[in-house]
Structure 1
Amino acid sequence: MADFLDQLGEILFLDIETASLTGKFDDLDPRLQDEWIKKERLIHLEKPTEAPGSLYFDRAGIHAEFGQVICVGVGFFQSKKKDKKIIFRSKVFADPEERELLLGLKALLEKKKWVLCAHNGKEFDFPYLCRRMLIQGISLPEPLQISGKRPWEVRHLDTMEMWKFGDYKHYTRLELLAAVFGIPTSKEGIDGSQVNSAFYLENNLEKIKKYCLRDVEVTARIYMAMHPQLDELVIEVGQPQETKKDHKD
């Protein structure tokens, strides 16, 4: 168990929340408008949309070329081996200016040789962060650099991939895994489909931050649930911390 706890302390659990680049399709750069219309045709190939851009507000945020990162929650475990207790510490990066947020995250990722863990992170969170950092002119921190690395050299974990057990067709929502493991839901008052509205229509970044941090904690608890040999450990959750703009590019 001691070795596992040492390894556990190196894992940074992560969740991102994203929104469309602009609140209205008409405010998007004309070149990107043209590209989005082409993407819409692929999304609704058999059923064309009523008007060009009609899917933008609801769907653009999941595409890094048309979206932006508005919040990143991170968390990690600190162990107290004598007490058989682990404390979950978390932070949130949130800023209307995406570049500032990403620079803050980069500074944290460069402080330690982290292993990154997210739910569906390999298909969404990690590549999305990489793309947005490059678009913002930010060099990738080492944990996000995968080019030229062998598969076993990439320090990325994915709780959805872990749950697949080799079944490539199997997709499982974070909320479903939380339900089957008896972990409290993170979907209280908001879910992923409502983030864009909360950001642009409600101007409520605080609500998004709380939701993002709950998702990070749920991901961490699911990871622990997949290691039942550690049932005797007690998990305590520390107070989330706000991040400061002490980064440098």
Structure 2
Amino acid sequence: MLEQIDIANVLFLDIETVSVTHTYAELSENFQYLWKAKSNSLFKTDEASTEEDLNQTYRDRAAIYAEFGKIMCISVGVVYRDKDDKRLKVRLKSFAGHDEAQILKDFSELMAQHYPTPGKYSICGHNIKEFDIPYICRRMVVHQMPFPKLLDLEGKKPWETLHLLDTLEMWKFGDRKNYTSLKVLAALLDFPSPKDDIDGSQVGRVYWDEQDVERISFYCEKDVLATIQLFLRFRRMPILVDDQIAHIR
């Protein structure tokens, strides 16, 4: 099936998420209570956490939960065939900033304009079925936004969501026991690692402490590029080199 997919009709994506507030103390009283309950469940304890513990778990873990985090960057990659030299090339672009609603709106408009139907178009990412897609959909519900057609998944049967291509799932080949990172697969399959600057655990610090949205966007785009390279490896095709890659600003 993978061999039949036109890579030019695939939107590659990755998201970066951060806690919805900088610190636990900035949460409303209700959400402080809810995070305390969440924190206790994470560490399987009924004991009340100290303020220091709650601050630390919030800083370390809140971003991965759509109820306590937000999307600050959605990066996408579009592969196309150059008319002159006939090689594949890729354009990478990010929707990023502090206004999550605007990020989601801009992303939805891209989807509606260029990727309107799941019959022809696909979305691809690494672990998108477990993380990126559910997170995007949940945050769209928070902002009361309609889903783009490729993300309108409610009530869909497995054979109706074949347009969601997950490179982690491809690598598992049916094995459900473990997670393999893009960094490991980049080393194994010999394409550039996306983790040569920051990694996911540092995104919150760079966002809240350094306010460096541009740095995070570039990091997120490198994850998208690594996913494209992995997809090409699955297809036994040459990986992209520098003159085939463009970051759109």
- Same fold by TM (over 0.5)? yes
Alignment partner, residue 174 of structure 2: 166
**Aligned-pair CA distance for 1:18:** 0.3
Instruction: Give me the whole-angstrom Cα distance separating, in 2, the residues matched to 1:64 and 1:70.
Output: 12
2:229·2:240 contact (CA, 8 Å) conserved in 1? Answer: no
Distance 1:239 1:47 in 2: 51
Write out per-residue CA displacement over residues 186-235 of structure 1, whole angstroms, 9 at most, x where no aligned residue: 1122110000000101111111011001110001100111111x34x865
Q: How does 1:1-249 map to 2 (within 5 A)?
A: 7-45=6-44, 49-51=49-51, 53-54=54-55, 55-80=57-82, 83-111=85-113, 112=115, 113=117, 114-154=121-161, 155-228=163-236, 230-231=237-238, 236-242=243-249
Cα RMSD of the aligned pairs, angstroms, is 2.1
What secondary structure, in the 3-state scheme, does the structure 2 residue paired with 1:124 have? helix
Runs of 5+ consecutive residues of structure 2 not aligned to the other structure: none
CA distance in 2, matches of 1:127, 1:38: 22
Residues 83-107 of structure 1: CA distance to partner in whole angstroms, max 9, x if unpaired? Answer: 4510111111002111011100000
Please state which structure has a larger fraction of its residues in helix.
2
Contact 1:5–1:79 (8 Å) recurs in 2: no
Q: Distance in 2 between matches of 1:82 and 1:164?
A: 37
Q: Deviations over 1:47-68 (max 9, x none)?
A: 9654352300111000000000
1:75 maps to amino acid: G
Q: Structure 2 length as normaliser, TM-score?
A: 0.89
**Deviation string, structure 1 residues 34-55 (Cα, Å, up to 9, x no partner):** 1111111111115965435230
Q: Is the 8 A contact 2:182 2:194 kept in 1?
A: no
Q: Counterpart of 1:245?
A: none
User: How far 1:174 sits from its partner (Å)?
Assistant: 1.1
Letter in 2 for 1:38: A
- Partners of 2:164 and 2:4 lie apart in 1 by 18
